Structure 1
Amino acid sequence: MDRRTVLTGLSGLAFAGTGLLAGAHAPAYGARNGATAIGTDDRTDELTGLLAAETAGGMPGAYAEVRESDQTYRFAVGVADVATGRPARPGAYHRIGGATKTFVGVAILQLAGERLIDLDAPIGRYLPDVVPDERGRHITVRMLLNHTSGLADFTRISLAAEGETVPDGVLFGSLRSIADTATRTISPRALARLGLGLPAVAAPGARWSYSNTGYVLLGLLIERVTRCAYEDVLTRRVLRPLGLRNTFLPRRRRLPDPHLDAYVPWSDGALREFTTYDMSWAWANCDLVSTAADMNRFYRLLLSGHALAPALLREMKATVPMSEQFPTFAGYGLGLLWLSSQCGRSWGHDGFAIGHNVFTRCTEDGTTAQFTVMENLNFYPTMSPQFPSHPIDVARARFMVGAMSACLAGTARLAEAVEAPVGFVPSPGWLQRLGAPAPAR
């Protein structure tokens, strides 16, 4: 079996549903002959073809960077702007959503290493005025980092179903909420009050449940112990030392050029653009802007020991199961997750902002295989809450297997990976769907 067959003959993936867009695709762009691409033309073509299946399923545009040891491949498919047909290009700025949490986790762990924070201390010790009740005495900093605090999330990643009740104030449960929040500035303390005002989803430490509320509290914790703005701490401690020159915390609603415009399917069947968006709702949990190259650099340096001392990196990689039903397929640490893959555990974090998605994975050693893919559409319908099979999601799963295949080249396990059914197909916001309580009706 040759490599091209391996990358395109994956079994166990069934397409379902129909595409969201027709005729909105630009030619695939792989800068393999320019200064931004390194590697063989054939491999770039293989990877570009896999990513292009997303645009065939309805994704307007996407771009990726794949690294395999000393080889780098950068390429893009589809359009950055649906109205003008401007093609997507590698290297665009992108909102990385929940992947921000790994950066926050690094800052918290650095402060823990300096004994400014005790990971197992109750959050009420540091923020008695913000979390003054029983939760402040029982929820620890570690629980906030690994999403076992039991705190509800003040955001949603899917529209409310017919008959479903969305608690007052919860963001993004409706198209109206998505539109209204675009121009709304919300303070961090208001976000904390919103999340803390919702019914808990579990007792502290009982189980994993994704919560942006917890990371808002971590942002406030950073400010309390350092007496500096969260944005300044993250820049000084994480972004600048790691040489992440194209990663920043936005101070305005507009994205700099170049970027992929951000889209959400609207009630009239068209795509509505939300590229300009007030990101105050995402403070300390989903607010960073980055590029695929910077994302790969960050996770590569983190996993190879350049961001944290060895003992602190071990703390970060100490995980809890993310699913009671499937405890061995994924684990979440202190802002960092792993998923089972053909490479064993692949580490990273996925992200979801309005109209922007990011998926990033890296092998345990930080070098054998790695990818980051950026996309510009979400809130499209999925087929089931936990294991969606929309064509976009299935195409993404195929791309992920192809992008990480370097770790199996020349081994018997390569054929096994191809023949094995793929049981989990990640979609935008799958982290929040997994372990979420049943919707109220």
Structure 2
Amino acid sequence: MTNTLDPAELNAALENVHRAGMPGLFAEVRDGDTTWRGAAGVADVDTGRPVTADMRHRVGSITKTFTAAAVLQQVERGRIGLDTPIGQYLPSSVPGERGDAITVRMLINHTSGLAEYLPYAYPSLKAFPVLADTGPQSMDDNRLTRFQATELIEMGVTAPAVGIPGGTPGVYSNTNYLLLGELLEQVTGTTAERYITRDVIERAGLRDTEFPADPYVKGSHSRIYEAWFGMIDPPRDYSVHDMSWVGPAASLISTVADLNRFFTLLLAGEIVSLSSLEEMQRTVPVISQEGKVIDYGLGLHPMDAPGQTTFWGHGGTVWGAGALSMASADGKRQMSVAVNLQRWNRLDSSGRPQPHPIDDALAALHHMAMYG
């Protein structure tokens, strides 16, 4: 990893992603005391309004790191046991033997065996992430649907299990994190969103990070476009969407600067203790929603290139928006990137996403941002 940021190279790498087909993207990269911010492309394909690096953005499952940190704060205070069965806290949500077998840790690292509720809440997605038989219709049907976490949890808990509690590889599932939201509410006496806002977001001094109170993104932001594997052509604007379908699993709005600040403080032991951070960095194999086996800790996962520095962070997608935030273990080098198009890959005859020029361009940007 080099110690310098090359603005010309970073700007060129951003521009390459835009040229490969991404309407707009923006990023912040930090190296010690040096910060670079850049943006390429448009925030609105109809008007040509440009994206800017300070825009607020839906950051999807990066929310999980905030939720995991909140749970670990409560572990430190003795209110939650990491290896305590969830049934002891939420017996009606996960009843019977499964409630006795699934621990809090298994929810945070996706080894609970609980299924994803998404294809039940959004029926046209069918057996997401198996994509051959899916369609985007549910996304339009549910733009303004106000889901209750309890109904979504019930869909995931009553669906056929995807593994045995504690078994590996685990299977990534938003059901786990909605349960963690219910757990936080149970032990703190306030909603997970309010607790995370007070004890994680405000404690970290993040000024542009919030759980949305309505279907809109407040402040300067980009429109966001969903292609659903080429089935929505041209991609459709999903900027206005009720995010209760993911709550404490993936609904946060943030900026690339706030994300970098959050991961700096987290990896410095300033959001949770260093011993809690150590727990967060203990990984197990988990099958991601893209069907790849990744190493996953407690709301954090590592990313590295062979022989290079390991980075810790999280990625996220919602309808139309994506983000990735990573920081080196010593917190010195960081990158956060936001994009305003999702699921740009078309599917082959077997339903597998085909390579797209955006993939290589993004990988090159990530590598340039992380390693120089």
Corresponding residue number in structure 1 for 2:180:
218
Alpha carbons of structure 1 residues 77 and 195: separation in structure 2 relative to 1, 3 Å: same
For 1:240-389, list aligned pairs within 5 A.
240-265=202-227, 267=231, 269-322=233-286, 330-341=294-305, 343-367=308-332, 369-381=333-345, 389=355
For 2:287 and 2:243, the matched residues in 1 are separated by 29
Please tell me whether the aligned partners of residues 110 and 286 of structure 2 are also in contact (alpha carbons under 8 angstroms). no
* Structure 2 counterpart of 1:404: 370
| Contact kept? 2:123, 2:138, Cα under 8 Å | no
**Does residue 194 of the first structure (1) align with residue 155 of the second (2)?**
yes
After TM superposition, the score normalised by the length of structure 2 is: 0.90
Deviation at 1:388, TM superposition (A): 5.8
Does the Cα contact within 8 Å between 2:345 and 2:355 map onto a contact in 1? no
Evaluate the alpha carbon distance shift between residue 388 and residue 310 of structure 1 in structure 2; reply closer, same or farther with a 3 A threshold. farther
Residue in structure 2 matched with residue 179 of structure 1 by the alignment: 140
CA RMSD, 1 decimal: 2.5
User: Residue 135 of structure 2 contacts residue 231 of structure 2 at CA under 8 Å; is this kept in 1?
Assistant: no
Determine the structure 2 residue equivalent to 1:51. Answer: 14
Task: Give the Cα separation in 1 of the matches to 2:247 and 2:114.
Answer: 17
Q: State yes or no: 1:83 paired with 2:83.
A: no
Q: 1-side partners of 2:294 and 2:108: how far apart?
A: 16
Q: Return closer, same or farther for 1:390/1:268 CA change in 2, 3 Å cut-off.
A: closer
1:93-135: CA deviation from partner (whole Å, max 9, x where unpaired):
0011001000001100000001100010110000001111221
| 2:152 counterpart letter in structure 1 | L
Deviation at 1:269, TM superposition (A): 2.2
Q: Tell me how far 1:341 sits from its aligned partner.
A: 2.2
Measure, in 2, the Cα distance between the counterparts of 1:382 and 1:322: 25
SS at match of 2:363: helix
Percent identity (aligned): 39
Map Cα deviations across residues 197-220 of structure 1 (whole Å, 9 max, x no partner): 211111111122101000000000
For residues 244-268 of structure 1, the C-alpha deviation after alignment (integer angstroms, 9 at most, x for no partner) is 1110010011112311111012646
Q: CA deviation at 1:322?
A: 3.2
Q: Which moved more, 1:252-261 or 1:282-291?
A: 252-261
User: Cα distance, 1:380 vs. partner?
Assistant: 2.0
Counterpart residue number, 1:418: none
C-alpha change, 1:185 and 1:311, in structure 2 (3 Å) is same
Alpha-carbon separation, structure 1, partners of 2:265 and 2:271: 6
Equivalent positions of 1:407-418 (< 5 A) are none
Contact kept, 8 Å, 1:383 with 1:390, in 2: the verdict is no
Cα pair 2:284 2:295 within 8 Å, conserved: yes
Q: Deviations over 1:127-153 (max 9, x none)?
A: 001111221111110000001111111
* 1:105 equivalent in alignment to 2:71: no
- Give runs of aligned pairs for residues 5-84 of structure 1, distance below 5 A: 43-84=6-47
3-state SS of paired residue (1:295) = helix
Counterpart CA distance in 1 for 2:214 and 2:253 is 11
Structure with bigger gyration radius: 1
Write the deviation string for residues 277-315 of structure 1: whole angstroms up to 9, x where unpaired. 000001110011000000000001101111111211111
Give the deviation of 1:174 after TM superposition: 2.2
CA contact (8 A) 2:171 2:287 kept: no
Shift of 1:340: 2.3
Q: Secondary structure at the match of 1:261?
A: coil
Instruction: Work out whether residues 82 and 103 of structure 2, in 8 Å CA contact, stay in contact via their aligned partners in 1.
Output: yes
In 2, Cα distance between equivalents of 1:386 and 1:355 = 20
Displacement after TM superposition at 1:53 (Å): 1.4
Whether the 8 Å contact between 2:268 and 2:274 is mirrored in structure 1 is: no
SS in 1 for 2:141: helix
Aligned residues of 2:327 and 2:335 also touching (Cα < 8 A): yes
Matches of 1:113 and 1:54, distance apart in 2? 42
Residue of structure 1 in register with 2:102 after alignment: 139
Give, in whole Å, the separation in 2 of the partners of 1:244 and 1:72.
17
SS of the aligned residue for 2:324 comes to strand
TM-score by length of 1: 0.76
Q: Does 1:115 align with 2:78?
A: yes
Distance change >3 Å, CA 52–CA 383, structure 1 → 2: farther
Give structure 1 stretches of 5+ with no counterpart. Answer: 7-38, 407-441
SS in 2 for 1:88: coil
Return the offset for 1:185: 0.7
Preserved CA contact (<8 Å) 1:383 1:389: no
**Aligned residue pairs, count:** 356
Does structure 2 retain, via aligned residues, the 8 Å contact 1:330–1:340? no
1:345: Cα distance to partner?
1.6
